[in-house]
Structure 1
Amino acid sequence: MIVAIHQPNLFPWLGFFDKMASADAFILLDNVQFTRRGYQNRVQIKGPQGMQWLTVPVKSKGQYQQLTCQIEINGEHEWKEKHLKTIERLYRNTPAFEELFPAVQELYRPAHQKLIELTIPGIEWIKTKLEIRTPIYLASDFQAEGASSELLSELVRAVGGTCYLSGPSGKEYLEGEVFAQRGIAVRYQYFQEEPYPQRFGPFVGGASALDYLFNDPLLFHWKNGRANLQNLTLEKRMCKP
């Protein structure tokens, strides 16, 4: 059983969902320290001048030790209106705008107090649009303890996993022996983003999955570009401790 784990980011890029689709269970790491200037409260979308940020303002002054699940949104800013106006302006003429923009508006409609009240529903919505059936769990729902490899391996074990699917950067910090002690294999994701139709010039990778959804309503590249996942299908056979 393959398990992938990631922090709950704001409207993540396709690589995030590729990892989710390649796993049997996906855990949102909501009980670790919030990463300032990371992707938990911001993401890039493509505009006429290139990539630009959508950022949710958060109350972080003097609270850098807070966990992601505790981070509150700074409601003093008119950020929701700004986000929606930006999304509408950049994607108004895309193939899927009429279908998707009302749903995006609904994601912003509730009176969000905490950051995860926007990011997690956003992840669930994109997951549905990409037809991914992998179940999602919250790390905070388990009694896993420790840090880094210890915490990750305990979470994998908590959902009955036998293999941890890490992003490529995990090669720099994961301790394989910690997983091995728990009978868990470690494998690494390989994802190469396939170009899809975009506005404003040549394709630029790394944008929010929103960019993909608006530009490719038939999901042609996602469904038919699954050559990216062939190696991971093979990894599934290899993911044995």
Structure 2
Amino acid sequence: RYEQPIDEVEISEPDWADQHWRSIEQAYRKAPHFATYGPKVRQLYEAVAKEKLLTQVNERFLRELSALLGLQVRITRDSDYAPQGKRSERLVDVCRLAHASRYVSGPSAKEYLEENLFTDIGTSVEWMSYGPYPTYPQLHGEFEHAVSVLDLLFMTGDQAPQYCLSRAADAPTP
């Protein structure tokens, strides 16, 4: 369903949340801060288990994990703005309607994003850099960058926000 709008994607596996949670619990139950944050994350999985749409699950996780990490971010959906157009034009319209001064995108979008459309409305385009991440102790082997934020939370506890907001050179000392 390549052309299906992302906000219409339904979850097909009814027991997905329980399966996810069991995997997380098994992988992290020995983590230093699992006893503190595990129950909160489990409650989150229980809360979203009955959701039908993937976008509802994603939004709930973004909001709850941002709150757990103490990150103060405004989260909105493009439907809050009723944007017009397709692809880059739609993104530009969301930025215009939200009065955004900058748009941050993943590096793979460089191939298709029409930057000039953003600059035409006074919105700068910034490209997300995924690393180098500050390292922290992990349960198994050498530091692995490609993990969930849950790894960071279970391993560093209340220090996690400092890792989210820092560059490798500024990272807290483990």
For this structure pair, what is the TM-score category when the shorter chain's length is used for normalisation? Answer: 0.7 to 0.9
- For normalisation by structure 1, the TM-score amounts to 0.62
TM-score (norm 2): 0.83
Q: Is the 8 A contact 2:69 2:160 kept in 1?
A: no
The answer to whether residue 20 in structure 2 is matched with residue 80 in structure 1 is no
Q: How does 1:80-229 map to 2 (within 5 A)?
A: 80-110=17-47, 111-192=50-131, 193-219=133-159, 222-223=162-163, 226-227=166-167
Higher strand share: 1
Cα offset for 1:162? Answer: 2.3
The amino acid of 2:56's aligned partner reads E
Name the amino acid aligned to 1:189.
M
Contact 1:196–1:221 at 8 Å: present in 2 too?
A: no
For 1:90-137, what per-residue CA distance to the aligned partner results, in whole angstroms no more than 9, with x for missing partners?
100111111111112212223221112321111111111222112110
Deviation at 1:151, TM superposition (A): 1.4
Letter in 2 for 1:67: P
Which has the larger helix fraction? 2
For residues 14-25 of structure 1, what are the structure 2 equivalents within 5 Å? none
How far apart, CA to CA, are the structure 1 residues paired with 2:73 and 2:91? Answer: 18
Retained in 1: the 8 A contact 2:32–2:155?
yes
CA–CA distance in 2 between the matches of 1:198 and 1:96? 12
- Equivalent AA in structure 1 for residue 37 of structure 2: L
Using the TM superposition, name which of 134-143 and 221-230 deviates more: 221-230
Q: Which moved more, 1:109-118 or 1:131-140?
A: 109-118
DSSP-derived class of the 2:56 partner:
helix
Shift of residue 143, structure 1, vs aligned partner: 1.5
SS of residue matched to 1:116 = helix
CA distance in 2, matches of 1:147, 1:187: 20
Q: Give the deviation of 1:223 after TM superposition.
A: 4.7
* Aligned residue identity for 1:72: E
Corresponding letter in the other structure for 2:80: D
SS at structure 2 position matched to 1:187: strand
In 1, Cα distance between the equivalents of 2:144 and 2:167?
20
Query: What displacement does 1:228 show?
Result: 5.8
The structure showing larger relative contact order (alpha-carbon pairs under 8 Å, at least 6 residues apart) is 1
SS at match of 1:137: coil
CA distance in 2, matches of 1:101, 1:206: 20
1:112 aligns to what SS in structure 2? coil
- 8 Å CA contact 2:103–2:126 kept in 1: the answer is yes
Residues 1:65 and 2:40 aligned together: no
Displacement after TM superposition at 1:224 (Å): 8.7
**Percent identity between the two aligned chains:** 29
CA contact (8 A) 2:153 2:160 kept: no
How far off is 1:191 after superposition?
A: 3.9
Aligned-pair distance for 1:204? 0.9
Query: Matches of 1:211 and 1:112 in 2, distance apart?
Result: 24
